[in-house]
Amino acid sequence: MALIVHKYGGTSMGTTERIRNVAKRVKKWVAAGHRVVVVPSAMSGETNRLLGLAAELEPKERTSASRRELDALAATGEQASSALLAIALQAEGQAAVSFTGWQVPVRTDSSYMKARIESIDGERIHRELDAGRVVIVTGFQGIDASGNITTLGRGGSDTSAVAIAAAIKADECLIYTDVDGVYTTDPRVVPNAQRLKTISFEEMLELASLGSKVLQIRSVEFAGKYHVPLRVLSSFTPWDIDLAEESRSGTLITFEEDEKMEKAVVSGIAFTRDEAKVSVLGVPDKPGIAHAILGAVADANIEVDVIIQNLSKDGKTDFSFTVSRGDYERTIKLLNEQVLPQLGEGTSVVGNTHISKVSIVGIGMKSHAGVASTMFRALSQEGINIQMISTSEIKTSVVIDEKYVELAVRALHTAFGLDGETSIEVPKRNDEK
């Protein structure tokens, strides 16, 4: 039968009763003849609890040494949940063994709190599987070349699971979470959002990068790079649900862009609330200015998203971009202290922390014209002003006032027929008619 990786989130592992249900579910898969590797997150709230304790003690200026200890501390949450799951499986009569990231080993670089995986040795995992055991590997963590424990950043257990699935050449990676799949948008904003049976990796990557929190973006990148079949499904269905039904449930993230998927012009709508806009005004309009501004920002490890440069007038232009709201103050300070002195007199920096980004995503956008105009018309009809626009082959993003984000999402969900109502007709390109 198949080699399957199961990943369970913190909510799924939140109590001993839930851990017991996970053990019964895993045992069911083994009883059907599958070999199973499990990657659990820490119990719900545990990582926050541990880091909260550290916050009471750590120095005001976080150093490399303190980040090292934070990783050593945070990694214990997954170690505890992995051991508890192994104990629960053994209590069910199923042989199981748990490993930390360093025991596998999962090798990473030395970027504490946001390490990146460099390699995974699957030999020990295969050896235990061949002995008839369920193998449990701590998510979220690994070990660097100096033997230090590292963590992959929040949501890193998704990345661990997909990377392990790639390393051991698993047939499928199942991401069990507290929702039953990927939806057209957040059901808390649009109650009649629809669950997608399938979605392409390209679409899922865009949705994850644009604010959808179902999967961590690096896990989707790994899945796409190594062609790991990925399925998102609920851990709160009864553990004894029919296996065939369970294996078809949720949302399959696929490499196939089939005909049905192309008929859906837009597959989903993502949004982020924690955006901030930064504008550098009165910038000399000459070569190298964009690098002078964004190079300094990049050197400070600040990620930039939407970028706009206005039309030049009298040799001057305005340069705007968005950053995470958490990086806003640092960005403003950096520009004032390091960049403006290089740009000369007359330049200044202004910002806005009350913006949000709303994005439409769909493979079908490749073969249809008029998608952006449909989006803009729907927003206009609701009186929503667009401040910035960014596009790619399968997505269009707009920056708007934060207070209109939910109204915008609902309007677009209806406009593109995602809630089951009649959609606005979007014509095909001339060469597709």
Question: What per-residue confidence (pLDDT) applies to 428?
Answer: 42
Q: Which two tokens stand for residue 241?
A: 């649900």
Question: What per-residue confidence (pLDDT) applies to 254?
Answer: 86
Q: Are 108 and 115 in contact (CB under 8 A)?
A: yes
Q: What is the CA radius of gyration of the chain?
A: 24
Read off the amino acid at residue 304.
V
Cα angle 10, 15, 17 (rounded to 5 degrees) comes to 125
10 Å CB burial of residue 365 (0-12, 13-18, 19+) is buried
Question: What per-residue confidence (pLDDT) applies to 423?
Answer: 40
- 250: helix, strand or coil: coil
- Could you write out the DSSP letters of every residue in 10-41? TTTTSSHHHHHHHHHHHHHHHHTT-EEEEEEP
Pairing state of beta strands 35-40 and 134-137?
parallel
Question: What per-residue confidence (pLDDT) applies to 421?
Answer: 47
From CA 154, how far away is CA 73, in angstroms rounded? Answer: 14
Report CA-CA distances (Å) from 46 to 72, 101, 232, 397: 14, 18, 23, 35
Query: Could you give the count of Cα atoms lying within 13 Å of 190 in the half-sphere of its Cβ?
Result: 27
Q: Are 244 and 238 in contact (CB under 8 A)?
A: no
Question: What per-residue confidence (pLDDT) applies to 241?
Answer: 95
Q: Has 10 been labeled as part of a binding site? A: yes
Q: Has 226 been labeled as part of a binding site? A: no
Pairing state of beta strands 251-254 and 316-324?
unpaired
Question: What per-residue confidence (pLDDT) applies to 257?
Answer: 58
Q: Which residues of 211-225 are buried (b: 16+ CB within 10 A; e: fewer)?
A: bbebbbbbbbbbbbe
Closest among 395, 282, 401 to 349, alpha carbons compared: 282
Q: Has 364 been labeled as part of a binding site? A: no
Tokens 């690994």 — which residue? 142
Q: Has 188 been labeled as part of a binding site? A: yes
Q: Has 178 been labeled as part of a binding site? A: yes
From CA 254, how far away is CA 260, in angstroms rounded? Answer: 13
Read off the amino acid at residue 384.
I
Q: Has 9 been labeled as part of a binding site? A: yes
Q: Are 181 and 238 in contact (CB under 8 A)?
A: no
From CA 147, how far away is CA 139, in angstroms rounded? Answer: 17
Q: Are 142 and 108 in contact (CB under 8 A)?
A: yes
Question: What per-residue confidence (pLDDT) applies to 425?
Answer: 43
Q: What is the dihedral of CA 252, 226, 215, 402, to 10 degrees?
A: -110
Question: What per-residue confidence (pLDDT) applies to 85?
Answer: 98
Question: What per-residue confidence (pLDDT) applies to 429?
Answer: 38
Q: CATH: 3.40.50.1100, 3.30.9.10, 3.40.718.10, 3.30.2130.10. Which one for 268-432?
A: 3.30.2130.10
Most distant CA pair in the chain, distance: 79
- In tens, the pLDDT along 96-125 reads 999 999 999 999 999 999 899 999 999 999
Q: Which two tokens stand for residue 308?
A: 């706009």
| Complete edge-to-edge strand list for the sheet that includes strand 198-200 | 96-99, 134-137, 35-40, 3-8, 172-177, 230-234, 251-254, 198-200
Pairing state of beta strands 304-309 and 316-324?
antiparallel
Cα 288 to the center of its chain, rounded Å: 33
Domain with CATH 3.30.2130.10 in the chain: 268-432
Q: Has 183 been labeled as part of a binding site? A: yes
Pairing state of beta strands 3-8 and 35-40?
parallel
Q: Has 256 been labeled as part of a binding site? A: no
Domain 3-256: CATH class, spelled out = alpha beta
- Could you write out the DSSP letters of every residue in 37-75? EEEEPPPTTHHHHHHHHHHTTS-SS--HHHHHHHHHHHH
- 273: helix, strand or coil: strand
Q: Along the chain (433 residues), what's the average pLDDT of each consecutive run of 10 residues?
A: 95 96 98 97 95 89 88 96 98 98 96 93 97 97 96 90 96 94 92 92 89 84 91 94 95 72 77 93 88 91 89 84 93 93 88 95 84 94 95 92 96 90 41 35
Q: Has 7 been labeled as part of a binding site? A: yes
Domain with CATH 3.40.1160.10 in the chain: 3-256
Q: Are 7 and 173 in contact (CB under 8 A)?
A: yes
Confidence (pTM)? 0.84
Tell me the β-bridge partners of 99. Answer: 137
Q: Which two tokens stand for residue 275?
A: 């955006």
